[in-house]
Chain A
Amino acid sequence: MNHPWTKLSNGSARPTTAPAADSPHASDLAGLLTHEDADRARDRWKVGRARREEGRSKGFGRFLVLWLLVGPGVLVFLGENDAPSMLSYSATGARFGVGFFIPFVVLTFLMGLVVQEMTVRLGAVTHRGHAELIFDRFGKFWGFFSLGDLVLGNFLTLVTEFIGIRAGLGFFGVRPSVAVGVGLLVVFAAITTGRYWTWERITLGLAIFNGLFVPAALLARPDWHQVGHALLTWTPLPHGNSFDILVLLLADIGATVTPWMIFFQQSAVVDKGMQPRDISAGRVDTLLGAVLATIFAIATILATAPLFHHGIDASQFQAAQFAQALRPWIGRAGAALFALGIFEAGIVAAIAISTSSAYAFGEVLGTGHSLNQPMRDAWPFYSILLGSAVAAAALVLIPHAPLEFIVLIVNVVAVLAMPPALAFLVMLVNDRDVMGDAVNGAWANVAAVVVTVLLIVAGLGFGVATVFPHWLSWL
């Protein structure tokens, strides 16, 4: 089709914010509308109605607008509080107790917030997913590198989600095959609606159970004075094997900033139909997600801190073993909450990460890539979504599969793959041809560069420690 908009191909693209009805090509477009457009328009109409309500009743109207626009930000942060992340936080609490890592986790979420805010603007202004924009603006060569990082990271992470699902339900005596089957069933059930809005609300409903770590933490009776002291002073500093500390630092960073989050949130913002005027609500959504995820992450550290105080060696613990070991201090109910939390973390992340892979492939292949499309119209999209989940689930059930290896490297790989992903993100969000006036301001660029440099330094520290392990003994 020689569509009038092909003039954008010459690189002189400019974002438009006018309704399609005001376009000179409105009558052309009217004959080309799809089921996906109609579903997205329904969601947009509700937002418009809420904005009119906001004009009449500020408090309720504002809440209504926020209620309709909250989603991608909360999902991405609670999705990233996934099984390997909660395992990292558990290991942090069990091995170092309350101290340096509490404010460090807050810092990592601040880094995540800086990154994710940029994806909101990119998605709302361009209406394009991240993979699509990288392929468009940087070409196939860089596009496939970027997609390769995403696919590798996503698959490894998905495997660890199913390990978490298996371990979480395993605490209650559920057989591994049944646990993994339940996980797959939930992923499938979420997408059968053929509607982004319903999928988002179902997944948000599940994601809220990430808060199960809060009662588990309260049952551990944390010393709040010590928590406040740690937050303010970053002490006591961690002691012990320097390489282990370095790996845990990297794992905790990888628990908050990863490439899949960039791809997922931008695509979800597009699928939700957010527009430039929704950017401030998108920022609130992202902030809310970051705050909730920070609270739940710190709760996990506090829940496992009794293991540190009682000198339990947790260096070889897996997810369910933390729950078992905590029973003497947080009781059977607390341990059960902890195990359910690990199960939930795996389920929500499995949904979000498999969707992120499907979005990216759909955008690159040029096939349908929206949860507003029915399965029969976008079968490649849904096939990748379900196929990646099934492959990861199957690997977890294969005897002698290298699961320990995957668990060890997954968050570290996420940190190492992040700087190139951030470079593309920063270049795109500073690209005036793509973003118009919504390009990054000076402070956003400074923050993005600081985050990128921190990630590179952390990665290089890991590299040096691997090649020259004796250097760490000097520290």
Chain B
Amino acid sequence: MNPADATPEELGGGAKAGAPDMDDPRAVLSVLEADQIVAAKQGTRFGRRKLSSGERVVLWGLRVYVVIMLVLVVISAFRVIHSAP
């Protein structure tokens, strides 16, 4: 039987009645999607997307924002700690 034709019911015979034996590759392939298989995921990559200039500006702007704000957080926390009685 071609794995593509197998269903969990047809692949019965596992430990529990009605439950397929997942040591049988056909059973695994019948319930997982193709790009859910670990080997398939390892062999594939979603390629790089091209960023528009607007997207670049947003990402750089947010990066600068985070760096500046982190410096301010450190300053603020030091102030609080040193002003504590």
Residues in chain A near residue B78, CB distance under 8 A? 405
Question: Chain A nearest CB: distance from B26 CB in Å?
Answer: 7
Complex Cα–Cα for A4 and B35 (A): 11
Residue-wise interface mask of A (439-475) relative to B, using a CB-CB cutoff of 8 A (1 in contact, 0 not): 0000000000000000010010011001100000000
- Interface residue A366 (Cβ < 8 Å from any Cβ of B): yes
The answer to whether B31 and A417 touch across the interface, beta carbons within 8 angstroms, is no
Q: Which of A11, A127, A149, A466 contacts B47 (CB 8 A)?
A: A11
The answer to whether B32 and A34 touch across the interface, beta carbons within 8 angstroms, is no
Complex Cα–Cα for A139 and B22 (A): 36
For B48, give the chain A residue with the smallest CB separation: A139
* Number of A-B residue pairs at CB separation under 8 A: 208
For B42, give the chain A residue with the smallest CB separation: A366
The answer to whether A8 and B47 touch across the interface, beta carbons within 8 angstroms, is yes
The answer to whether B77 and A316 touch across the interface, beta carbons within 8 angstroms, is no
- Interface residue A404 (Cβ < 8 Å from any Cβ of B): yes
CB-contacts of B35-74 with A (<8 A): 35-49, 51, 55, 58-59, 62-63, 65-66, 68-70, 72-74
- Interface residue A48 (Cβ < 8 Å from any Cβ of B): yes
For B44, give the chain A residue with the smallest CB separation: A5
The answer to whether A5 and B58 touch across the interface, beta carbons within 8 angstroms, is no
Stretch in A35-43, A63-71, A78-86, A229-237 touching the partner: A35-43
Residues in chain A near residue B2, CB distance under 8 A? 26
Residues in chain B near residue A419, CB distance under 8 A? 62, 65-66
- Interface residue A3 (Cβ < 8 Å from any Cβ of B): yes
- Contact status of A40 and B32, CB under 8 A, knowing A29-B39, A45-B22: yes
The answer to whether B30 and A6 touch across the interface, beta carbons within 8 angstroms, is no
Q: Which of B23, B32, B44, B75 contacts A3 (CB 8 A)?
A: B44
Question: Chain A nearest CB: distance from B64 CB in Å?
Answer: 10
Question: Chain B nearest CB: distance from A297 CB in Å?
Answer: 23
The answer to whether A462 and B72 touch across the interface, beta carbons within 8 angstroms, is yes
The answer to whether A138 and B41 touch across the interface, beta carbons within 8 angstroms, is no
Complex Cα–Cα for A416 and B84 (A): 24
Residues in chain B near residue A412, CB distance under 8 A? 73
Q: Which of A5, A16, A137 contacts B33 (CB 8 A)?
A: A16
Residues in chain B near residue A37, CB distance under 8 A? 28, 32, 36-38
Q: Which of B36, B43, B45, B72 contacts A20 (CB 8 A)?
A: B36
The answer to whether A463 and B72 touch across the interface, beta carbons within 8 angstroms, is yes
Residues in chain B near residue A48, CB distance under 8 A? 8, 31
Question: Chain B nearest CB: distance from A241 CB in Å?
Answer: 11
CB-contacts of A1-38 with B (<8 A): 1-3, 5-6, 8-13, 15-23, 25-27, 29-34, 36-38
Question: Chain A nearest CB: distance from B71 CB in Å?
Answer: 9
The answer to whether A416 and B73 touch across the interface, beta carbons within 8 angstroms, is yes
For A370, give the chain B residue with the smallest CB separation: B38
Stretch in A161-169, A170-178, A351-359, A427-435 touching the partner: A427-435
The answer to whether A38 and B51 touch across the interface, beta carbons within 8 angstroms, is no
Known: A29-B29, A142-B59. 12 other contacts (CB 8 A): A8-B45, A11-B47, A20-B34, A33-B28, A33-B37, A45-B22, A128-B41, A405-B77, A416-B69, A417-B66, A427-B55, A463-B68
On B, residues with C-beta under 8 Å from A are 2-6, 8, 18-20, 22-23, 25-49, 51, 55, 58-59, 62-63, 65-66, 68-70, 72-78, 80-81, 84
Can you report 10 A-B residue pairs in the complex whose CB atoms are below 8 A from each other? A8-B44, A8-B45, A9-B45, A10-B47, A23-B4, A29-B34, A29-B39, A39-B22, A133-B46, A456-B65
